[in-house]
Structure 1
Amino acid sequence: MANSSQREQALSLLAAANNHGDLAVKLSSLKQAKDILLNSPDLSLELFPFFVEIQSSHEPLVRKTLIEAIEEISLRKLEYSAVLMQVLLTLLSDDDSVVAKQSIVAGTHIFCKVLDELTLQFQRHGFVERWLEDIWSWMIKFKDAVLQIALEDKSVGPRLLALKFLETCVLLFTSDNDSRGYTNEVNRSVQVFNISWLAGGHPVLDSVALQSEANKYFMILLDLLRLASSLPGSITISVVNSIFSSIVQG
């Protein structure tokens, strides 16, 4: 449990991250606050309102750093991440493409981590804890939001990453695919979700529904390819690469 000194220090740092006039101080304060929360993750729950305030910062780099902090806390202390997911979802639609892109990257890493934990927890203990079910419900919202970004005529950068997320889902949810890993800049060890783990059933994940979703996303990629003449060149290249990867590795 966090002591009062840690709490006061974290509050002071988050206040500086939100209100200080110097960008370097804002960033340094936010990173220091993140380190405290990693060592005392229960503070994440208490200090969530201050994270909400920081997401409204006028500095895109502060908002991007906030997403990086949320990702690192979530990947290391997954059980505390549900309370941080609202910030992640909000910043998916950030006006600054760099912030929106970072939100997709962070969300994708957390999405994969949650899949791993859902399957491993059930395999090891025969049940899934409620907190993990709650986080998965946030991941479903994230997945649906990223799908909309992939389909909408928005900034190219976020859309490219949204398409990459669709490719990731196709690979993750396709049977007999041996290339469904993801890398994590925070923790270099790689977990690999395999849908075959769900063959005996799962209380939260439906393998048939997930494979149907993979087919849906693959058809979306094909439909986008048919519209190639009206898409930016980089989008078309991304779609082609995703289709090719899905066929070769699927």
Structure 2
Amino acid sequence: MAAAPTTDQAFSLLAAANNHGDLAVKMSSLKQAKDILLSIEPSLAAELFPYLVELQSSPESLVRKSLLDLIEEIGLKAMEHSSVFMPVLLALLKDVEPTVARQSIVIGTKFFCSVLEELALQFHRRGKIERWLEELWMWIAKFKDAVFAIALEPGSVGTKMLALKFLETYVLLFTSDTDDFEKAVTEASRQAFNISWLDGGHPVLDPVGLRSEANRTLDILLNLLRSADSLPGSLTITVVNCMLTSSLLRS
């Protein structure tokens, strides 16, 4: 019978992924380390997260992109240990390789939505918010600010398109709806977040402030549309699509 994988094995594989000179060996080691980290208890896997995040300094963009994929798989599974990953997502938003920056936006958006849902559900079920979740939300807020800046500053068109899609997501999340929170949490363990879930009050999330910021974000998209003549065609199309989606929800 084969021995169960151990944290020592994962540590050795992460060391190879960080230090070996051959890219193929790095990628193979990282894949094996990922399999181990996903198979062991999250609390044990978390002991190796500091070694995992060292890969953000890898000179190979493929390694950095694979790190982001791994952060998505492991971080969303072990959310209470995920604060260590947030500085990586923030740093790689500015990566010199556009595909890495874009991947950071995509994965950070998933974290944003998941943490938001967890904040609402945890307070509903326990009547309080654990410290780790508050800390994670503070990082998420920094991520949001960084992506908003990308959407409004000069840069890669492809990266800006994803940043604009994040703005659209922000508007959709914090626009009023009439869904029944009690029904939602009864029918499924996780549901897409709805701002109406916060109408009874929340110790971390301010529904009035979030709705107001969603309106300001919609104004940002509208102002971008007004200046469409100065935007590349693909960005104009993205802004129009974002506006249409947001308007349909609010109508």
Q: TM-score, normalised by structure 2?
A: 0.89
Letter in structure 2 aligned against 1:212: S
TM-superposition CA deviations, 1:89-120 (whole Å, max 9, x none): 11111010000011000000011000110001
Question: 1:19 aligns to what?
Answer: 19
Deviates further, 235-244 or 5-14: 5-14
1:138-189 Cα shifts (integer Å, max 9, x gaps): 10000000000001110111111100000000000000277xxxxxxxxxx9
- 1:56 maps to 57
- Aligned pair count reads 237
1:30 is aligned to 30
**Could you tell me which amino acid in structure 1 is paired with residue 208 of structure 2?**
V
Q: Unmatched 5+ residue regions in structure 1?
A: 179-188
Map 1:30-179 → 2, pairs under 5 A: 30-38=30-38, 39-176=40-177
The Cα of 1:190 is off from its aligned counterpart by 6.5
3-state SS of the aligned residue for 2:202?
A: coil
2: CA distance, partners of 1:215 / 1:222: 10
User: In the superposition, relative to structure 1, how do residues 124 and 190 fare at CA in structure 2: closer, same or farther (>3 Å)?
Assistant: closer
The 1:92/1:54 distance shift into structure 2, 3 A limit, reads: same
Contact 1:171 1:246 in 2 (8 A): yes
Larger Rg computed on CA atoms: 2
Q: What is the Cα deviation at residue 44 of structure 1?
A: 4.7
Q: Who is 1:215 aligned against?
A: 215
Q: Which amino acid aligns with 2:235?
A: I
Please tell me whether residue 238 in structure 1 is matched to residue 227 in structure 2: no
Q: 2:177 is matched by which residue type in structure 1? A: D
Please list the CA deviations of residues 180-237 of structure 1 after superposition, one character each: whole Å capped at 9, or x if unmatched. Answer: xxxxxxxxx9731011000100000000011011011111101111111111111110
> In 1, are the aligned partners of 2:50 and 2:84 still within 8 Å (CA)?
no
For residues 223 and 57 of structure 1, the distance between their equivalents in structure 2, rounded to whole angstroms, comes to 39
Change in CA separation of 1:204 and 1:157 when aligned onto 2, cut-off 3 Å: same
Partner Cα distance (1:91, 1:62) in 2: 12
Q: Tell me the distance in 1 between the aligned counterparts of 2:190 and 2:96.
A: 32
Question: Aligned residue for 1:224?
Answer: 224
Q: Provide the secondary structure at the position in 1 that maps to 2:64.
A: helix
4+ long deviations beyond 4 Å: none
1:144 alignment partner AA: D
3-state DSSP of counterpart to 1:81: helix
Instruction: Name 1:185's counterpart in structure 2.
Output: none
**Whole-Å Cα distance in 2 between the matches of residues 214 and 64 of structure 1?**
30
Is 1:163–1:238's contact at 8 Å kept on the other side of the alignment?
Answer: yes
Q: Which residue of 2 aligns with 1:182?
A: none
Which residue is 1:184 aligned to? none
Distance 1:190 1:116 in 2: 8
Q: TM-score, normalised by structure 1?
A: 0.90
User: Does residue 1:198 correspond to 2:171, yes or no?
Assistant: no
Consecutive unaligned residues of structure 2, counting only runs of 5 or more, are 180-188
* Cα distance in 1 for residues equivalent to 2:24 and 2:95: 21
The separation in 1 between residues aligned to 2:57 and 2:192, in whole angstroms, is: 35
Give the % identical residues: 65
Counterpart residue identity of residue 132, structure 1:
L
Distance in 2, matches of 1:236 and 1:198, equals 33
